[in-house]
């Protein structure tokens, strides 16, 4: 009987760390490494392309950390995750509460094998829903406990300006940048939209599309559109689209169906 192949993606900004995981996986013939990524943005591209079963995910990465990567993946597409982290034991209690696998740097071959064996078992008996629920619960706890940004630092033509988040109307993605719209002005910020989303107050800012975040206080009207989508009219007349996949989030914020 053939062995079920498990597709894995390794995400770590340190080349030596990626190499260590890859070398240890040579003892795991059932696991095929389909991609290695040095950043969160590249990880999202690889996950969308390969739909891996298993993700080795470094938490502490520049620009877009591991939690921001997870927040950007639709729940139905979440792979099984083994967190690779330098967090201390106190912080690791969160992973244990939600029954999530982790490797504390520096880890040895025995600890690695234990985490991988557990992951393979859960993948083969299809516990994807349980795993994704644990990850989503962890992300919600982290968002609730984190300190939200109250201002952004905008660099432009050698000048540095501060923009209060309360003054933001809406945000749109432009590749690995975001454009911040505030009144009649707009500012370009070098930050992926998924990373910025995790830093904003979820009670004030809502992702309504894969490329759009809106300040809820700026919404004037919702208009039904096609195929379960909605058109959002802001107080200044700006028109944005609420995609069907993000409608549930808006319903949770409003406390009623739309």
Q: What is the pLDDT of residues 36-52, one digit of tens each?
A: 999 998 999 999 999 99
Kindly state whether residue 169 falls inside one of the protein's structural domains.
yes
- Give the pLDDT of residue 54: 94
- Give the pLDDT of residue 144: 62
**What's the whole-number mean pLDDT along residues 7-30?**
95
- Give the pLDDT of residue 90: 44
Verify that 43 and 91 share a domain, yes or no: yes
Verify that 126 and 160 share a domain, yes or no: no
Q: How many domains does the chain have?
A: 2
**What's the whole-number mean pLDDT along residues 22-49?**
93
Verify that 123 and 29 share a domain, yes or no: yes
- Phi/psi at 154 (5° precision): -110, 120
Domain containing 71 — which CATH number? Answer: 3.40.50.2300
Verify that 10 and 132 share a domain, yes or no: yes
| Cβ–Cβ under 8 Å, residues 52 and 43 | no
Verify that 79 and 12 share a domain, yes or no: yes
Last residue of a domain, which of 145, 163, 192?
145
Last residue of a domain, which of 145, 163, 182?
145
Output the CA torsion sign for 26, 31, 35, 38.
negative
Domain that holds residue 234: 151-254
pLDDT of 150 strictly over 60: yes
Higher pLDDT, 1 or 20: 20
53 secondary structure, DSSP code: S
Kindly state whether residue 61 falls inside one of the protein's structural domains.
yes
Are β-strands 219-224 and 205-209 bridged in parallel, bridged antiparallel, or unpaired? unpaired
pLDDT tens digits along 58-96: 988 877 888 888 888 877 788 899 989 876 554 566 676
pLDDT tens digits along 107-139: 999 999 999 998 898 888 765 556 677 777 777
pLDDT tens digits along 151-189: 888 877 777 778 889 999 999 999 889 999 999 999 999
pLDDT of 1 strictly over 50: no
- Give the pLDDT of residue 2: 43
């Amino acid at each position: 009987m053939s062995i079920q192949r498990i597709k894995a993606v390794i995400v770590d900004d340190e080349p030596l760390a990626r190499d260590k995981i890859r070398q240890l996986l040579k003892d795991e013939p059932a696991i095929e490494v389909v991609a290695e990524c040095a950043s969160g943005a590249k990880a999202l591209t690889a996950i969308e392309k390969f739909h891996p079963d298993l993700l080795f995910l470094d938490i502490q990465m520049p620009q877009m950390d591991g939690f921001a990567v997870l927040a950007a993946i639709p729940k139905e597409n979440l792979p099984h995750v083994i967190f690779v982290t330098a967090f201390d034991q106190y912080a690791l209690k969160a992973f244990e509460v939600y029954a999530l696998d982790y490797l504390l740097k520096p880890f040895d071959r025995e600890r690695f094998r234990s985490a991988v064996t557990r992951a393979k078992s859960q993948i083969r008996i299809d516990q994807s829903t349980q795993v994704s629920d644990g990850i989503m619960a962890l992300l919600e706890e982290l968002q609730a406990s984190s300190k939200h940004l109250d201002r952004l630092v905008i660099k432009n033509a050698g000048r540095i300006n501060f923009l209060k988040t309360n003054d933001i109307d809406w945000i749109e993605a432009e590749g690995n940048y975001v454009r911040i719209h505030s009144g009649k002005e707009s500012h370009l910020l070098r930050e992926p939209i998924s990373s910025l989303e995790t830093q904003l107050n979820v009670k004030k800012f809502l992702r309504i599309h894969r490329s759009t975040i809106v300040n809820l206080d700026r919404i004037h009207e919702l208009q039904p559109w096609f195929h379960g989508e909605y058109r959002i009219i802001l107080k200044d007349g700006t028109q944005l689209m609420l995609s069907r996949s993000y409608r549930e989030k808006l319903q949770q914020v409003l406390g009623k169906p739309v």
